[in-house]
Amino acid sequence: KNQVEQSPQSLIILEGKNCTLQCNYTVSPFSNLRWYKQDTGRGPVSLTIMTFSENTKSNGRYTATLDADTKQSSLHITASQLSDSASYICVVSRDNYGQNFVFGPGTRLSVLP
Amino acid sequence: EAGVTQSPTHLIKTRGQQATLRCSPISGHTSVYWYQQALGLGLQFLLWYDEGEERNRGNFPPRFSGRQFPNYSSELNVNALELEDSALYLCATLHTNVLTFGAGSRLTVL
């Protein structure tokens, strides 16, 4: 079954600290893996997109890694800010059609002052 | 350019009623995807419209339907509302491999 699992379910950190969110998937075939940030009550916003051949991609303080062999990805956030408080969603695409995107349940990150 | 816009922001209905949600894609984008995001669950694919035609639908009952207009805007209709239809409904466009979402419509069924 095509699934995306994320851990932890929720995370609380202090402002300025780093954190790492995990994503494991069993989706096949694999086209690419995306990380999205979703603020409360808003739509998800794309952070990174990685294909099979890419094992790391950065977007400012966000760095995503991909191990296609073990079917794992991580999102590392450096020097967290209060505005990083959001849900982070891992999405695995089976192709480039939106109906074949498999979404994880998200990790809820809270950054406290 | 304006992003994907959705209306209404919030909608409260009672069981058995009908709900209509609207989406305007980014100018020039012809594909519209609808997703349901229930509390604590990942987004679930509902419907895909492109060039005015329904191209695919997810594993949802027929009371979930919609259409796409000549200007590529789209409507999602949910008939005979049930309590479990309470969710955030997201519209998105896919362009150059980037899926861009609207802010969503929060539907609450009482």
Would the CB atoms of A98 and B48 count as touching at under 8 Å? yes
d(CA A39, CA A41): 6
Please count the other Cβ atoms lying within 10 Å of the Cβ belonging to residue B29: 17
pLDDT at B96: 81
Q: Contact at 8 Å (CB) between A93 and A31?
A: yes
pLDDT above 90 covers what percent of chain B? 85
B91 → chain A, closest CA residue: A43
Give Cα separations from B95 to A96, B61, B99 (angstroms).
Answer: 10, 28, 7
Query: Which parts of chain A have pLDDT scores under 70?
Result: none
pLDDT of residue B39: 86
Contacts A101 to B, Cβ<8 Å: 43, 45, 99
Please report which confidence band the pLDDT of residue B93 belongs to, taking 50, 70 and 90 as the band edges: very high
In the prediction, which pLDDT does B28 show?
86
Q: Per the CB < 8 Å rule, is A98 touching B31?
A: yes
| Nearest partner of A38 among A91, A106, A87, A84, judged by Cα | A87
Closest listed residue to residue B98, CA positions, set A78, A91, A18, A19? A91
Partner-chain contact A34 B99, CB within 8 Å: yes
Interface test mutation site (partner A, options B99, B100, B107, max chain A beta carbons within 10 A): B99
With 80 as the cut, is the pLDDT of residue B73 above it? yes
* Mean residue pLDDT across chain B: 94
Count, in order, helices (H) and strands (E) of chain A: 0, 11
Q: Residue B1's pLDDT band (boundaries 50, 70, 90)?
A: low
Quote the DSSP letter at residue B79.
-
pLDDT of residue B2: 67
Q: For B73-91, what is the mean pLDDT?
A: 97
Min distance B33 CA to chain A CA atoms (Å)? 7
Q: Name the pairing type of β-strands B87-95 and B98-101.
A: antiparallel
Q: Are residues B56 and A105, on separate chains, in Cβ contact within 8 Å?
A: no
Judged by CB atoms closer than 8 Å, whether chains meet at A44 and B90 is answered as yes
Q: Minimal Cα distance from B102: which residue of A? A: A43
Q: State residue A76's pLDDT score.
A: 98
Asked if B2 and B70 count as a contact pair (C-beta separation under 8 A), the reply is no
DSSP run (H or E) holding B93: strand B87-95
To the nearest whole Å, the CA of A12 is away from the closest chain B CA by 17
The residue among B21, B26, B17, B51 whose CA lies nearest residue B36 is B21
pLDDT digits (tens, 9 = 90+) for B12-50: 999 999 999 999 999 888 999 999 999 888 899 999 999
